[in-house]
Amino acid sequence: MKKVFLTLAIVAIAAAAQAQGTIQFLNSSLSRLLYQEFIGGPITTAVPVGTHVGAYWGMDAAGATAIVGQGRGSLAGPTSLTAAGGIWPAAGSPGGAVYPVAGTQEGQRVWLKIAAWVGGTAEAPIGGDVIYGESSVVSVILGPTAGPGTVVWQSSTGTSPDRAKPFVIALIPEPSIWSIGVLGLATFLLRRRKSKSEC
């Protein structure tokens, strides 16, 4: 009986140690994230410390468009956190030279985007008004399990087609805010029109 349990344990450990593809962010002062605190405000590198940064991936036949947009794609692993000035990972945060992309294999080609958000949870930006941004989607061949991971980040002047570039994290109002604004504007225009016809 002990041999059966030992064999099952070894099989479980072997299954858990399955190879995964890896990436690395390699973010620096030359490739900081950008931040816009309010709509129409200045764009700076003053990204709040603790902003979540995550890599999302997909293999859909639809290509890059399958993971464009908030909440689309599979979260690669634990989110990283920013340090001061739009640089990540912060000390003690995931995202070094070997950042595993869960559910993939080394050498696999995937679609990948980098997303960042303020607030919410480590898994997703949630709540009313969301401060969110994401990179363009790039096609990446993942690095070996032991590392080093494939570099997926470059400066805004970089020319590598398989690396993402810095993007702006900005306020995205909740859809209901837009709806209320449109209804208010429609009501205003209707009342104005009605008052002109009474004159």
Instruction: Supply the Cα-derived Rg of the chain in whole angstroms.
Output: 22
- Alpha-carbon dihedral sign for residues 92, 98, 104, 108: positive
Per-residue pLDDT at 178: 46
pLDDT digits 0-9 by tens, 163-195: 999 999 998 775 554 455 556 666 767 776 666
C-alpha torsion 70→100→161→92, nearest 10: 80
What is the spatial order of strands in the sheet that 21-24 belongs to?
99-101, 21-24, 150-151
pLDDT digits 0-9 by tens, 57-66: 998 777 888 8
- Alpha-carbon dihedral sign for residues 172, 175, 53, 92: positive
**CB-CB neighbours of 121 under 10 Å:** 11
Contact assessment for residue 114 and residue 168, using Cβ atoms and an 8 Å cutoff: no
Per-residue pLDDT at 196: 65
List 151's β-bridge partners, or say none: 24
pTM of the model as a whole: 0.76
The letter for the amino acid at 36 is: Q
Query: 146 pLDDT band (50/70/90 cuts)?
Result: very high
Query: 97 pLDDT band (50/70/90 cuts)?
Result: confident
What DSSP assignment string belongs to 172-189?
E--HHHHHHHHHHHHHHH
pLDDT digits 0-9 by tens, 114-131: 999 998 888 888 776 789
Query: 16 pLDDT band (50/70/90 cuts)?
Result: very low
